[in-house]
């Protein structure tokens, strides 16, 4: 590869977007950041998508000292939350590249987390899923089906379980928990009945998910109901890992299991998760080596080497 070969990696998610430009040695020379870019269904969302991606790449160009009018990449990888099928045609309008790879955010997260080696990653932010790849490049996933049908162990799931516990306590068929008072206070509601009516009448998925730290902090403080909720979340995430491991690796085969996402900022949840996967499949949980955007760069470099 010649010295002037450039590579682009994009991590486009539900909350933010990151663009990285690297040289032929994989050294990051430009970076840009922006807001979410995961939806393009409506015309105004397409405009927002194109502006978000375009602004991030423009920032990266500027930092790298690259003239956007003549910029071209040897390879570019785009990892998008929710998949890339509806975004590919728009991205090609913005970026000139000899080779393109369009994929989902879990693949670039795994590549970054393991440095491109075989393994499994668990993503637990607002939602949750696990994704793995073995030495033969076969892949498997578990979870990631949204807050109605899945996302066990993610922030929304933690909040939903806490709300149920608060209702059960107020109605007299559940144990005492400090979550009841905490949830009423944060919503300014006099009782759980009012709280639930407010949530149903003005449903805000992101706000409900944002209550998850109340649950994990209560667990750290020893609230028994919160501890059980966090333990259940950790076990659900571990089940995802077991499912992926069973599809891709032999029984007892130890592979790196990386974790990423806000839910893992909870020490009790992370400890319970690490314990569960070690006991069930003999694997060790570890922090990712690199982030998803770096994973996209690694995928671009790998694409160019083929």
Per-residue confidence (pLDDT) for residue 142, from 0 to 100: 93
The whole-number pLDDT of residue 12 equals 85
How far is 20 from 95, CA to CA, in rounded Å? 13
Ranges of residues in the chain whose predicted pLDDT is under 70: 1-3, 38-45, 82-85
Beta strand 139-143 with 128-133 is antiparallel
Task: Assign a CATH topology to domain 7-112.
Answer: Nucleotidyltransferase; domain 5 (3.30.420)
**Three-state secondary structure call for residue 90:** helix
Q: Which two tokens stand for residue 32?
A: 């840009």
Q: What's residue 35's pLDDT?
A: 82
| Domain 146-286 fold | Nucleotidyltransferase; domain 5 (3.30.420)
Q: Is 278 in contact with 255 (CB distance < 8 Å)? A: no
Q: What is the pLDDT of residue 41?
A: 54
Contact 288, 109 (CB under 8 A): yes
What is the predicted pLDDT for the residue at 135?
A: 94
- 6 contacts: CB under 8 Å, gap ≥ 6: 21, 22, 23, 24, 66, 71, 72, 73, 74
Residues 6+ apart with CB under 8 A from 173: none
Q: Reduced to 3 states, what is the DSSP secondary structure of residue 27? A: coil
The H-assigned helical ranges of the chain are 43-64, 88-94, 105-114, 146-149, 155-171, 179-187, 192-201, 205-209, 212-220, 224-248, 267-281, 292-305
Across 166-185, b (16+ Cβ under 10 Å) vs e yields bbbbbeeeeeebbbbebbbe
Hey, where are the domains in the chain? 7-112, 146-286
Residues 6+ apart with CB under 8 A from 35: 15, 16, 17, 52
Q: What is the pLDDT of residue 140?
A: 96
- Per-residue pLDDT tens over the stretch 41-94: 555 667 777 888 889 999 999 999 988 888 889 999 999 876 666 777 778 878
């Amino acid at each position: 590869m010649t010295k002037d070969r450039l590579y682009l990696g994009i991590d486009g998610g539900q909350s933010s977007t990151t663009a990285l430009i690297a040289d032929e040695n994989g050294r990051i020379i430009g970076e840009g950041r922006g807001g979410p870019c995961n939806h393009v269904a409506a015309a105004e969302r397409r405009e927002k998508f194109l502006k978000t991606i375009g602004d991030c790449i423009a920032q990266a160009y500027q930092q790298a000292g690259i003239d956007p009018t003549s910029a071209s990449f040897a390879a570019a990888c785009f990892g998008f939350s929710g998949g890339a099928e509806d975004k590919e045609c728009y991205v090609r309008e913005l970026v000139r590249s000899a080779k393109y790879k369009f994929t989902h955010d879990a693949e670039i997260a795994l590549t970054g987390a393991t440095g491109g080696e075989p393994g499994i990653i668990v993503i637990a932010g607002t939602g949750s899923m696990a994704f793995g790849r073995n030495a033969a490049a076969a892949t498997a996933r578990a979870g990631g089906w949204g807050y109605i049908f899945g996302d066990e162990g993610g922030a929304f799931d933690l909040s939903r379980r806490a709300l149920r516990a608060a209702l059960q306590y107020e109605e007299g068929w559940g144990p005492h928990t400090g979550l009841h008072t905490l949830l009423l206070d944060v919503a300014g509601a006099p009782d759980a009945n009012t709280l639930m009516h407010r949530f149903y009448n003005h449903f805000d998925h992101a706000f409900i998910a944002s209550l998850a730290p109340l649950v994990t902090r209560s667990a750290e403080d020893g609230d028994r109901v919160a501890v059980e909720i966090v333990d259940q979340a950790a076990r659900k995430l571990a089940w995802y890992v077991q499912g992926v491991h069973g599809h891709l690796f032999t029984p007892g085969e130890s592979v790196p299991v990386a974790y990423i996402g806000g839910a893992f900022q909870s020490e009790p949840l992370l400890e319970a998760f690490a314990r569960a996967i070690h006991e069930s499949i003999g694997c060790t949980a570890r922090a990712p080596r690199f982030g998803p955007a770096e994973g996209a760069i690694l995928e671009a470099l790998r694409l160019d080497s083929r």
